[in-house]
A and B are shown apart, each in its own frame.
Chain A
Amino acid sequence: MISTNDSAGRNVMKLYLAFGLIIAAVMMLVGLTMRMAQAQWLSIPPDVFYELLTLHGAGMIIALVVCAMGGLWFLMRRRISLSAPLAVAAWALLMLGVAGVVISVVFGHYAGLYTFLYPLPFIGSWPGWATGVFLIGMMLINIGWMIWCFQILGAVLRAYGGLRGALGWNFVWCPKAFAAAGHEPPPPEAFPAVVAGLDGLITGMVAMLLGVALLVRWIDPRVLIDPLWAKNLTYLYMHALANLIIYMLAAFIYVGLSYVTKREYHTSKVFVIAWWSSLVFILTNYFHHLYMDVSSQPQILQYFGELSSYLTAIPVTAVTVFGALMLVWRSRTRWTLGAVFMYSGLIGWVVGGIGAEIDASVPFNLHLHNTLWVPAHFHTYLLGGCLLFVMGWVFLLLESRSEHSTSKLMRSLIFTLSFGGMVVFLLGFYFGGATGVPRRYDTQPLPGPLIAQFATIGVIIMLLGFTLAFFEGLRLRSGFSADRMLWPQNLRDDIS
C-alpha cells in the first residue's frame, strides 16, 4: 500500500536533496578552479590546490550520498514506517561533520585529501588540530550515514519478514509455496535499501574502527598503526560508499523510468539474485585498489579482486540496465528534461563501468593506476551517472506538479550543453590517463596542461547547461498547481 499524502516525508527528501545539490554545485566550481589551475590559466599555490582537492573529493561524495539517502528514504517511506525526526537527526550529524571538514580545510589548511592513506595525515604541512578536526568531522558523517542505514534496514526487515523476506529468499527458492501463501516479493526499490543498509553498516563499522585507531594515534603519537591494515580498511569503506551511491540511485530508475515510460518495473527472480550478488561484490571489489602493492598484499586477494571486479558487471548490465532499456523500448515515453537526464545517467553508469573494468584489469592497471584514468572513470559514473539520476529525479518531481512545460528548444539546449560539455570534460581525463598524466598533481607534466585546457572548456560548457537547467527548474517550480497530482506517491494510479 503506497502512502499518498506525506508532506513530512517530502520535506525530509527536499532537505536532503537541497543540501546535496547545493554542496555539489559549490564543489563543481571548486573543480573548475582546479582544472583551470592545471591548464595554467590560473595560478594557485600547491597547498591551496590540495586544500581545494580535499574539499572537492569529500564534498562531492557527501553531496551525492546525501541526495541518494534522501531520495531512497522517501521512496521507502511511501511503503513502510520510517521516522522523519530520526532521518533529520542523521542529516544534522552529516552536516555537523561537513562543518568539521570545512573548518579543518579552510582554517586549519588540512590538505591530506579525502581518501588519505595512513600515516599521511600525521606527517603533513598542516597543524595537528586540523587533522583531528578532519577525522572527527569524517566520523560524524559516518555516524549520520550509519544511523540512516540502521533506520532503513530495520524498517525494511520489519516490513518484509526479516532478512529472508527482505532479500526475497523464499520468493526465489520456494516460489510455489510463496505464491500459495498469498505473499508478494518486496518492491524493486526495497532491494537497494536493504543492500545499502547492510553493506553501509558493515563498512561503516569498519570505518569507525579505523577512525578510532587514527584518533588514538592523533592523541598519542607513540601509537603505531599497520599501514597495510589501514589501507585495506580505508579502501573497503571508501569504495563501498562510492559504489553504494549508484546502487541506491538505482531505486530512482525503478520508480522514475516506470513513471516516464508508463510501465512497471517488476521484482523478478533474476532481479533478486542480481541484488544478492551486488550485496557481496560491493564488499569485495575494493581489492583492486591494492593491485600495486605487489608484494605486501596477499597475492590471492589480487586474483580475487580482479575476478570480483569483473563479475560485478553482470548484475548491472544484464539486469538493472537491461531492464531499464526494456522499459523504454517502444514505450509511451515523454522525453521531458527529467526523463532525458535519468536516461542519460544510465549511459554514464555503463560507460564509467567500462572505464572501471579496464582499470580493474591487473595488466592494464600497471599502466593506468593513479593516472587521470582513475578520475576519468569515477567522474563518468558519479557526474555522468549519479548526478544525472538526481537531476532527473528532481525534474520529474517538478514536471509532475507544474502547469508549465519545457519547450523543445530549451530541452535541446540544456541537453546539448550539459551532455556535450560533460563528454569533452571527461575525455580530457581519459586522454590524460592514456598518456600517463598522474592524478592529484597541481602542476602536471606534458601533455597534462594542454589536455586540461580542453577539459576546462568542457566544464564551462557543461556548467552553462546546468545553469540553464537551474533556471528552468525555478520556472517549473513557479508553475506549481495545487490540483496537480503529488507524484510519485500515486505512481500506480498514473500507470493504470
Chain B
Amino acid sequence: MGATSKLLLIFLLLAGGVGSVFVVVALSTRQPIEDQTEMHRRGYAVRSKWFLFVTLFLLAAFVATLPFFPYLSRVTAQGPALRVPVIAQQFTFIMPSHLPLKQRIIFEVTSRDVNHNFGIYNSKGELIAQTQAMPDYVNNLEVTFQKSGRYTVRCLEYCGVGHALMEKEFTVGGY
C-alpha cells in the first residue's frame, strides 16, 4: 500500500468516526430531554478533556512531521550532489532525458514564463516529489532515485490552456 493510499485510509476512518459521532448525537434526541443547565455541566467537563486531547495531538503531530520537511539547509544544499537544471515553459520542460540511479540529485527548477510545477511521477503513476517552477526564482528539489525505470514529469500548477499536455518523460539507471 502506497503512502497516499494509507493517507486516504486514515482520512476515511476519521471521516467515518466523525459521521458516527454526529449520528449518535442526532439519535440522542429520541431519548428523554435533558435540561440545558445539566447538559452544560456534563458537556463542559467533556469539552475540557477534548480540548486538551486535540491540542496535544496537533502539537505532537507538528513535532513528528518536522524531520520529514523537504527544505534543504544551506549546508545540505551545497553538499555533494548532481545538480540538474530544469527550465519550465509553456508547455514543456527543458531537462535531461536520462538520470543516474541511487545518486543524490538536486533539481534546480525555474521557469521562463509563468508559474509551473515540477511534479515527478514514477512508473506506477505515484507522485514522488514536486516543487514550484517560478520565474525569477530557483527551487532546489532533492531526489535520490532508488529504482530504475521510466519517470514522468507533469506540470501541477495551472499555466494556460495547454496545462494538461505539459509533461516530459525521463529514464533512470540502466532502463
Are A and B genuine complex partners?
yes
- A contacts, CB < 8 Å to B: 46-47, 50, 111, 113, 116-120, 123-125, 226-228, 231, 263-264, 270, 290, 292-296, 299, 302-303, 306-307, 310-311, 313-314, 317-318, 322, 325-326, 328-333, 335, 343, 346-347, 350-351, 354-355, 358, 361-364, 366-371, 430-431, 433-436, 438-446
Question: What's the nearest-Cβ distance from chain A to residue B59, in Å?
Answer: 8
Question: In whole angstroms, how far apart are the Cα atoms of A136 and B111 in the complex?
Answer: 28
A443 to B12, CA, bound (A): 27
**Given A292, A299, A436, which contacts B131 in the complex, CB threshold below 8 Å?**
A292
Contact in complex: B28, A328 (CB < 8 Å): yes
Q: Which residues of B contact A441 (CB under 8 A)?
A: 163-164
Is B157 located at the chain interface by the 8 A CB criterion? yes
**Is the Cβ of A293 less than 8 Å from the Cβ of B137?**
yes
Q: How far is the CB of B112 from chain A (nearest CB, A)?
A: 10
Residues of B within 8 A of A (CB): 3-5, 7-8, 10-12, 14-15, 18-19, 21-22, 25-26, 28-29, 31-34, 36, 39-40, 43, 47, 50-51, 54-55, 58-59, 61-62, 65-66, 68-72, 77, 90, 113-115, 117, 119, 121, 125-132, 134-141, 154-164
Q: Nearest 4 A-B pairs (CB), nearest first?
A: A363-B68, A330-B34, A434-B8, A370-B156
B71/A302 in contact, CB under 8 A: yes
Closest Cβ of chain A: how far from B7's Cβ, in Å?
6
Query: How near does chain B come to A114, taking the closest CB pair, in angstroms?
Result: 10
Q: Is the CB of A361 within 8 A of B61?
A: yes
A431 to B12, CA, bound (A): 10
Contacts of A295 in B (CB 8 A): 71-72, 77, 131, 137-140
Q: Which one of B4, B11, B19, B66 lies within 8 Å of A436 (CB-CB)?
A: B4
Residue of B nearest to A380 (CB): B15
In the complex, the answer to whether B134 meets A346 with C-beta atoms within 8 Å is: no
Quote the shortest CB–CB distance from B63 to chain A (angstroms): 10
Q: How far is the CA of A371 from the CA of B154 in the complex (A)?
A: 11
Contact between chains at B4 and A434 (CB < 8 Å): yes
CA distance A219 to B1 in the complex (A): 53
A310 touches B22 (CB 8 A): no
Instruction: Establish whether residues B156 and A350, one from each chain, have CB atoms under 8 Å apart when the complex forms.
Output: no
- Rounded to whole angstroms, the CA-CA distance of A302 and B4 in the bound complex is 21
Give chain B residues whose Cβ lies under 8 Å from the Cβ of A322. 43, 47, 50
CB-CB under 8 A for A331 and B156, given A227-B137, A292-B130, A363-B68: no
A120 touching B25 in the complex, CB below 8 Å, given contacts A310-B61, A310-B62: no
